[in-house]
Amino acid sequence: MSPHVVTYELENGLRVVAVALPHLHTATIGVFVRVGSRFEAPSDNGLSHFVEHMLFRGSDAYPTSRDLAFAIESLGGTLDAETGRDLSLFHITVEPTLIDSGLALLGEVVSRPRLGEIDLERSIIIEEMREDYDEDGVETHGEDIVRGLLFGDHPLGQRVIGSEANVRRFGEADLRRHLARHYCAENMLVCVAGPVAPGDVVASARAHMSALPAGQVVAAPPLSFDQAGVRYRYIARGGSQTDVHVLFRAVPDIDPDYMASVGLLRAIDDGMSTPLHYELCDRRGLAYSVGALIEPLADTALLDLSSSTGSANVSALLRGMLELVGRFRTDLVTAAELTRIKRRYRNDLFAAMDDGYAMANWFGGTMLYYPPPDLDQRLAQMDSISAHDIREVARRILCPDHLAIAVVGRLSKARQGEVREIVNTWR
């Protein structure tokens, strides 16, 4: 099942990964960078996101944002980018015959940005930022709030977009400094996934990415935890809905228990028959929707459960979420549930094989930090997990010392007390 993957290192240290998927009709080109909020001091928080925005503002060959966008769209694709906590990604999907042109454009974007119209882009970022604050300037974005609780003073707890004060202060010198430190060959990786000839990919990358300075790998600040008990915060916000965020610190991809944790996630929430949706929505009507996911990071992962509901249901919803996940520490999943988990994982992995973007992320993003797992190996690991494995990883992850909870909405004093009691008594 696993595709043929070739990794080559250019003379400047840039790694080039070619993932051969001959059954596809398009190719995804991804540029991955070890840069994000994890690598920022508080005074620089938001700078990685600002740089990402500014790379769309034109380059030496394409002086304006429209020139650059038109060149990209003339290839038939769209350049997308995202800044995360421990990596940033730029990617475009094109016909296989246009891989060289796509690599040329991406090389132009990351090697020769103009960084023009900084004040205009600054105003756009501030408008983006305002979606996460109320009219009094109070942060109301629950996903960031609960991560800040869990990671505390570690840079992973910072908002990716940063603070408004920082964004207003950043100038060209800050952007150039951040680019010079992070956008260098040793700190980056190019991955092309699709019906590719690896030799051609390497030749194109050499032609269009050799201008990147070698630089050096930027070390990620290490993690350490001293949490004792649940970390909880309530944030008052207007509106008819209250957001509930339940976040557990889980195990990283490289941990032997990781695949058991994937099985645990799918036992909790993987379709309308699984308990998170069925019990809380279909059977009890506590919310319209509720979901869970694993967010992988370089050396840890997050098991994230979230929902929104009316204030009258908040206590019952939170209690239900915590009681539900707690059951997995004592109860074994049934044989039928285990079969469903494994079949759905297998089906999703097969679907990922038909998705160049998914494969570029699987091999490219992972390789920034460690060798990516082999797909056949992953299938074998999932096939081998047992109900006992899922229960053991649940006992390891689902505990108060790994938990942060944020509730964002409008609750009465009495309701706030109910919620806090639920948080304080959960074991």
pLDDT digits (tens, 9 = 90+) for 41-68: 999 999 999 999 999 999 999 999 999 9
List strand residue ranges (DSSP E) for 334-425, in order. Answer: 403-409
pTM of the model: 0.95
Per the listing, tokens 């001293």 go with: 226
Q: Which of 91, 103, 115, 108 is nearest to 179 (CA)?
A: 115
Domain coordinates in residue numbering, the chain? 4-209, 231-425
| Closest by CA position to 22, among listed 4, 40, 49 | 4
The pair of three-digit structure tokens given for residue 261, joined into one six-digit string: 């944790």
Hey, CA dihedral for 209, 210, 212, 218, is it positive or negative? Answer: positive
Query: Do 4-209 and 231-425 fold alike per CATH?
Result: yes
Greatest distance between any 2 Cα atoms in the chain: 67
Q: What angle do CA 314, 316, 317 make, to 5 degrees?
A: 60
Q: What is the CATH number of domain 4-209?
A: 3.30.830.10
Give CA 414 to chain center in angstroms.
Answer: 36
Exposure letters 245-271 (e unless 16+ CB within 10 A, then b): bbbbbbbbbebebbbbbbbbbbbbbbe
DSSP H stretches of helix in 220-286 = 258-268, 275-277
Dist. CA 297–CA 390, nearest whole Å? 21
Each residue's pLDDT, cut to its tens digit, for the chain (427 residues) gives 789 999 999 999 999 999 999 999 999 999 999 999 999 999 999 999 999 999 999 999 999 999 999 999 999 999 999 999 999 999 999 999 999 999 999 999 999 999 989 999 999 999 999 999 988 888 999 999 999 999 999 999 999 999 999 999 999 999 999 999 999 999 999 999 999 999 999 999 999 999 999 999 999 989 989 899 999 999 999 889 999 999 999 999 999 999 999 999 999 999 999 999 999 999 999 999 999 999 999 999 999 999 999 999 999 999 999 999 999 999 999 999 999 999 999 999 999 999 999 999 999 999 999 999 999 999 999 999 999 999 999 999 999 999 999 999 999 999 999 999 999 999 9
Structure tokens at 351: 């679907």
**Residues 243-275: pLDDT tens digits?**
999 999 999 999 999 999 999 999 999 999 999
How high is the pLDDT of residue 413?
Answer: 96
The architecture (CATH level 2) of 231-425 comes to 2-Layer Sandwich (3.30)
pLDDT for 197: 95
Task: Give the number of other CB atoms < 10 A from CB of residue 278.
Answer: 14
- The answer to whether 71 touches 105, Cβ cutoff 8 Å, is yes
CB neighbour list of residue 296: distance below 8 Å, 6 or more residues apart: 252, 253
**Inter-residue contact 43 to 155 (CB < 8 Å):** no
The residues, ordered by sequence, that sit 6+ positions from 416 with a Cβ below 8 Å of its Cβ are: 234
Structure tokens at 383: 């096939």
